[in-house]
């Protein structure tokens, strides 16, 4: 039997061994056509999406491709050696979508692994692996999955993804900030207040048009550790702000850009996101709009609601930074989601179909006082749910009495765990996963973190290292393992479990091991 570690090692070796140049007889490519790797996503009981992009020169215009459709063949097997192929076909990689390929597989068996690969121009891609979900009517005894995001290329190496690829997981939830849209940076001040320099550099300037965003995704996807994580697990991919612009909300980019012009930028960003993510055709953008919120079920163990907390958000009521409350903080017209998305989420929460309800989203739902020194008023993160008090309170009130809701979050570049309350009543728990690289090496605690922990009784844990979250779920217990690295400023960071924090179904309280 081939182990997961052997599979990942073999996929990595195949990447290294890919030929640099192809002959005219093999399709006329100037280099290996699958240099951006392969990926799988949006798993279901009967299948998942498989993805690749034909780009022999990833950072060149159009990925080095002629502006013409090309055929790409694909195969799916029940073994890594493809002795038992269960599905195959051909897809046309079209220039309108950067020669990306999204194949939606169906008819597979539930709750088992499959292997997949692509062929074009006489060349084979690396082999990817993905697992289908259990059937909805089944009662799985356990689930183990990963949570990751915030991977600024300039801030560090992706050793976390190398370790994540070795984990035995059903899937990975990526909460967003897959790319960072900004300029190549110089020496700057890190989250911890230290003066740092970029570990590696972005190609190109600030992303505005489709070519900019395509090149940024291509640069990120050339990272071998990120490719390893994609080949090892299927992903549920969502987006946050940096896929478009830092802290954007609805039709506002938080500057004086006219909304109609910002929408052109958002349309380009959404198209590039779709072109590079293993998501279903239902998520193909229509101009500057994309219906990204969706759900999934892991048998009757966990129901997942994956949110979009950016596209329908109203403008930041008190600015988009860390600041004291302002009079419009409780504006009843404020929104983080659309009315349709909020109604869909409330419906799912109020009609539980599983032992656990997981709300997987982007920005912190806890409202924390971020003061690290004496001041006359609390300091809130206005780009989180704390800046939108009316919809936050409305959602928490809907969670009252359920006692099975777990909220998963990213964005903060730190690890957090805490209790969500409706008034004085605990209604859910929230686990915030740290970044893959954003923020640099970090440390166990940032300056002032001890004061934030002491000043917010609902907050039970905080940590400022890079890494990811591993969630282990049984019918009566949910444990989140905070996996952290000792460094990201150089390759090969060492991994350890910083904390294991559990919640028992029926009691929204946290126990830290």
For 319-374, give the DSSP string. Answer: BSSEE---GGGG-TT--SS-HHHHHHHHHHHHS--SSEEEEE-SS--S-----SS-
The whole-number average pLDDT for the span 17-35 is 59
Three state DSSP letters for 26-94: HCCCCCCCCCCCEEEEEEECCEEEEEEECCCCCCCHHHHCCCCCEEEEEEEECCCCCCCEEEEEEEEEC
Please, what is the average pLDDT of the chain?
A: 94
Nearest one of 275, 138, 165 to 220, comparing CA atoms: 275
> Three-class SS of residue 110?
coil
Q: How far apart are alpha carbons 28 and 24 in whole angstroms?
A: 4
Query: How far, in whole angstroms, is CA 450 from its chain's centroid?
Result: 28
pLDDT(28) > 90: no
In DSSP terms, 426 is beta-bridged to 421
Confidence band for 25, pLDDT divided at 50, 70 and 90: very low
The whole-number average pLDDT for the span 84-113 is 98
Nearest one of 422, 356, 410, 346 to 383, comparing CA atoms: 410
pLDDT(191) > 90: no
Q: How far apart are alpha carbons 456 and 151 in whole angstroms?
A: 28
Q: Which two tokens stand for residue 437?
A: 């690289």
Q: How far apart are alpha carbons 252 and 260 in whole angstroms?
A: 9
Quick one: DSSP state of residue 311?
A: T
> Three-class SS of residue 10?
helix
For 4-131, CATH gives 2.60.40.380
Q: Which two tokens stand for residue 474?
A: 């049984």
**Where does residue 378 rank: exposed (0-12), middle (13-18), buried (19+ CB within 10 A)?**
middle
The whole-number average pLDDT for the span 201-205 is 96
Confidence band for 222, pLDDT divided at 50, 70 and 90: very high
Answer with the residue of higher pLDDT: 289 or 29: 289
Q: What are the pLDDT digits (tens) for 455-465? A: 999 999 999 99
The answer to whether the beta carbons of residues 183 and 208 sit under 8 Å apart is no
**Of the candidate ranges 6-15, 190-199, 299-308, 399-408, the one whose mean pLDDT is the lowest:** 6-15
Q: Where are the domains of the chain?
A: 4-131, 143-512
pLDDT of residue 193: 77
Q: Quick one: what percent of the chain has pLDDT higher than 70?
A: 95
The whole-number average pLDDT for the span 116-141 is 97
Per CATH, the architecture of 143-512 is what? Answer: 4-Layer Sandwich (3.60)
Q: How far apart are alpha carbons 400 and 421 in whole angstroms?
A: 8
Answer with the residue of higher pLDDT: 375 or 508: 508
Neighbours of 17 (CB within 10 A): 9
pLDDT(19) > 90: no
Q: How far apart are alpha carbons 43 and 137 in whole angstroms?
A: 16
pLDDT(10) > 70: no
Q: How far apart are alpha carbons 130 and 128 in whole angstroms?
A: 7
pLDDT of residue 221: 98
Q: How far apart are alpha carbons 54 and 62 in whole angstroms?
A: 10
> Three-class SS of residue 174?
strand
- DSSP code string of 209-268: SHHHHHHHHHHHHT-HHHHHHHHHSEEEE---STTTSTT-BTTB-SSS--HHHHHHHHHH
Q: What are the pLDDT digits (tens) for 314-362? A: 999 999 999 999 999 999 999 999 999 999 999 999 988 899 999 999 9
pLDDT(9) > 70: no
The CA distances from residue 236 to 61, 149, 228, 422, 466, in Å, are: 29, 11, 16, 29, 21
Q: How far apart are alpha carbons 131 and 85 in whole angstroms?
A: 15
**Where does residue 303 rank: exposed (0-12), middle (13-18), buried (19+ CB within 10 A)?**
buried
**Where does residue 468 rank: exposed (0-12), middle (13-18), buried (19+ CB within 10 A)?**
buried
Q: What are the pLDDT digits (tens) for 242-266? A: 999 999 999 999 999 999 999 999 9
Q: How far apart are alpha carbons 388 and 12 in whole angstroms?
A: 44
pLDDT of residue 21: 30
pLDDT(496) > 90: yes
pLDDT(449) > 50: yes
Q: Quick one: what percent of the chain has pLDDT higher than 90?
A: 89
Three state DSSP letters for 380-391: EECCCHHHCHHH
């Amino acid at each position: 039997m081939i182990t997961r570690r052997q599979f990942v090692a073999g996929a990595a070796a195949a990447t290294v061994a890919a030929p640099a140049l192809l002959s005219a007889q093999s399709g006329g490519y100037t280099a290996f056509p699958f240099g951006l790797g392969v990926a799988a996503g949006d798993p279901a009981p009967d299948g998942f999406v498989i993805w690749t992009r034909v780009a022999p020169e990833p950072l060149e215009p159009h990925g080095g491709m002629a502006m013409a459709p090309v055929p790409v063949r694909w195969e799916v097997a029940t073994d890594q050696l493809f002795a038992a192929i269960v599905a195959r076909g051909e897809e046309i990689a079209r220039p309108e979508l950067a020669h990306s390929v999204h194949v939606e597989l169906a008819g597979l068996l539930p709750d088992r692994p499959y292997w997949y690969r692509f062929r074009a121009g006489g060349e084979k891609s690396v082999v990817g692996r993905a697992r289908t979900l259990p059937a909805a009517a089944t009662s799985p005894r356990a689930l183990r999955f990963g949570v990751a995001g915030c991977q600024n290329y300039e801030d560090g190496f992706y050793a976390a993804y190398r370790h994540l690829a070795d984990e035995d997981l059903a899937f990975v939830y990526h909460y967003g900030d897959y790319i960072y849209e900004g300029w190549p940076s110089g020496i700057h001040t890190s989250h911890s207040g230290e003066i740092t320099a970029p570990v590696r550099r972005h190609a190109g300037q600030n992303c505005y048009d489709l070519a900019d965003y395509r090149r940024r995704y291509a640069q990120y996807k050339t990272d071998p550790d990120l490719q390893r994580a994609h080949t090892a697990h299927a992903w549920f991919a969502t987006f946050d702000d940096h896929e478009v612009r830092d802290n954007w909300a609805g039709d506002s980019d938080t500057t004086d850009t006219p909304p109609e012009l910002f929408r052109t930028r958002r349309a380009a960003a959404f198209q590039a996101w779709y072109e590079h993510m293993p998501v279903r055709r239902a998520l193909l953008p229509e101009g500057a709009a994309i219906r990204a919120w969706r759900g999934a079920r892991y048998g009757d163990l966990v129901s997942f609601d994956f949110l979009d907390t950016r596209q329908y958000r109203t403008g930041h009521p008190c600015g988009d930074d860390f600041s004291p409350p302002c009079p419009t903080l409780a504006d009843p017209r404020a929104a983080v989601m659309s009315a349709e998305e909020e109604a869909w989420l409330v419906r799912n929460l109020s009609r539980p179909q599983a032992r656990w309800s997981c709300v997987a989203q982007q920005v912190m739902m806890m409202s924390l006082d971020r003061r690290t020194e004496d001041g006359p008023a609390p300091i809130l993160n206005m780009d989180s749910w704390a800046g939108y008090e009316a919809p936050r309170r409305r959602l928490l009130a809907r969670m009252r009495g359920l006692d099975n809701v777990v909220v998963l979050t990213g964005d903060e570049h730190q690890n957090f765990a805490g209790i969500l309350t409706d008034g004085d009543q605990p209604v859910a728990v929230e686990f915030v996963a740290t970044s893959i690289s954003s923020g640099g090496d970090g440390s166990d605690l940032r300056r002032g973190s001890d004061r934030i922990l002491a000043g917010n009784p609902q907050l039970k844990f905080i940590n400022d290292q890079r890494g990811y979250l591993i969630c282990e779920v049984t019918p009566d217990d949910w444990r989140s393992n905070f996996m952290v690295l000792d460094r990201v400023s150089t390759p090969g960071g060492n991994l350890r479990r910083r904390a294991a924090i559990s919640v028992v179904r029926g009691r929204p309280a946290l126990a830290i091991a």
